Structure 1
Amino acid sequence: MRRLRALAAAAALVLSLVGVAGCTTPEDAVPDVTVTGEPGEAPTITYLTPLDVKETHREQLWPGTGPTLVNGDAVLIDYWLEDATDASLVRESYSTKPMAKMLTEVDLGKDLFKTLRGQKVGARLLQISPGSGTDATDYPTVTVIDVLPTRASGKVVPPVAGKPVVTRDQSGAPTMKPTGTDPPTTLGAQPLIRGTGDQVEADDVVTVQYTGFSWTTGEPFDSSWSHTGLPVSFSLQDVQAFSEGLVDQPVGSQVMLVVPPSYALGITDSEEMAGQTVVYVVDILDTGHPAGAASG
């Protein structure tokens, strides 16, 4: 009899633990959201509306294989944000240009900062948030986020004789050693790292990191790396030298552009470099074909 009572008590304890661990209250239920789509493409999100969201849910849809995001450093993302009450699109970046921010709670907001923190470049993430007002919305939202590189990544191309030598620090920012020779008189484009992404087209909006150097001294005169550390986006139509030099280069590449003084600098407002040959080292991070998108 005592053995039967002991077995019954043990069974009751097991059932009690299963109930605590296995039962899910409506407040704790994970919203039923399905995301499909390939890397580099806008996602398709499927769920029943209105979506009842009690608290923020975060999910890694696939892991990244690149560097881990570092708090306080630049982060570059593509995103797709929907109003979860009716699945209407609020805003997205895939048809325009990716968003560059610093990985801080102040820059990104509390929810997005928590979603991105600790992730790796290449990850696709899902964030489902209630309409709490923390991200300036009064309705629940579903957001898919793709984490993009902030530096060139690909196969290093052997240096070419007679060209300046470029080296990179740990962050990817370049420095340049001049050749000590007379500058060329024609525009030149030399890949330093060859990426494997989409090829740049003449009318694209590109997102890049860049540094401009004096051909003669090798001293930098302008750099996105040192201004804010954030990548910049602009229309190639606005910068002739970049338009001619970057066309057909794949995303992920680092390209050295040698720009003679017959070209306007375009991306740089520098009176000190007027009439001089300059060298731009450009990391191509993204390219797109947004109709009517403004540079900036």
Structure 2
Amino acid sequence: MNDCFITRDFVNDDASATITDYGAHVLDWTPAGQPKVLWHPRAITLSNGVAIRGGIPLVFPWFNSGFENGHVADKQPKHGFARISFWHFDEEASSNAVARYTLTSDDVPDDLLRTMGGGEKASFHATYEVRCGKEFQASFTVTNDGEHPFSYDEALHTYLHVGDVRRISVTGLEGATYFDTTIEGHPTRVQPDEPITFDGTMTDSIYQAASDGENAVVRVHDETLGRTIVVEKSGSSNTVVWNPGEQGAAGIGDIANDEWPGFVCVEAANNHGTPVTLAPGESHTLSQTLRVE
């Protein structure tokens, strides 16, 4: 594959989007007449082996450094290899409103495939399709092409643009159990019957929120921008909510000191003890739809 940092713009009457072949990474989605919905820092680094911050990083096949047997693992690279791989753009299946990308195990080093397969060399093909219009839909499908089952984590690590994270509220996860990963041991908590709010300290919560349950639809109410972003998902067991806060952002080199209030991450995921397991020949699709109310 030609390791070039190609960035593609998709423009139609309803919206515009920008996607780079590196990581099949969505950088922007802006509905017509609206402020942008996805956030990224002012300075974006495009460098081989370095993950892009903001937009929608595609997390696969492990989340963070992995989670095995009830404990955090030590897999590298962080959040898996998908977001630092050069994906194949399928021009025939794409248009000004649709982008289709593919990645296979032939594109991945053997050591990472064995890490993914628990010692066996995993064989797979993945398809990532993005639809850009009045709504934005991202669908990620993985098929096991090998002779052995494998398990994997995944997430659509979506950075939503907000006016000021301290003046937003997140609803739809009331009553859900979550892991508070800001605390060692990741204790479980239950979200009270009230919105999630942010006070400038780090929030990093993994909610047990199946896509066929009552917590499948999340709304981000933005007082500053006067809008609500709706996040709806399928094929997902968990929803991650994250903002690093002022102190956490200070340790992240690609976020400037004044940028952390401008986003919140709401992510459809299968992670932290609820991976996807595929038998030979099986497929699974994770999808997430965004819209503005």
Q: TM-score range by the shorter chain?
A: under 0.3
Bigger strand share? 2
TM-score, normalised relative to structure 2: 0.28
TM-score, normalised relative to structure 1: 0.28
Bigger helix share? 1
Larger Rg: 1
Query: Which of structures 1 and 2 has the larger relative contact order (alpha carbons within 8 angstroms, sep 6+)?
Result: 2
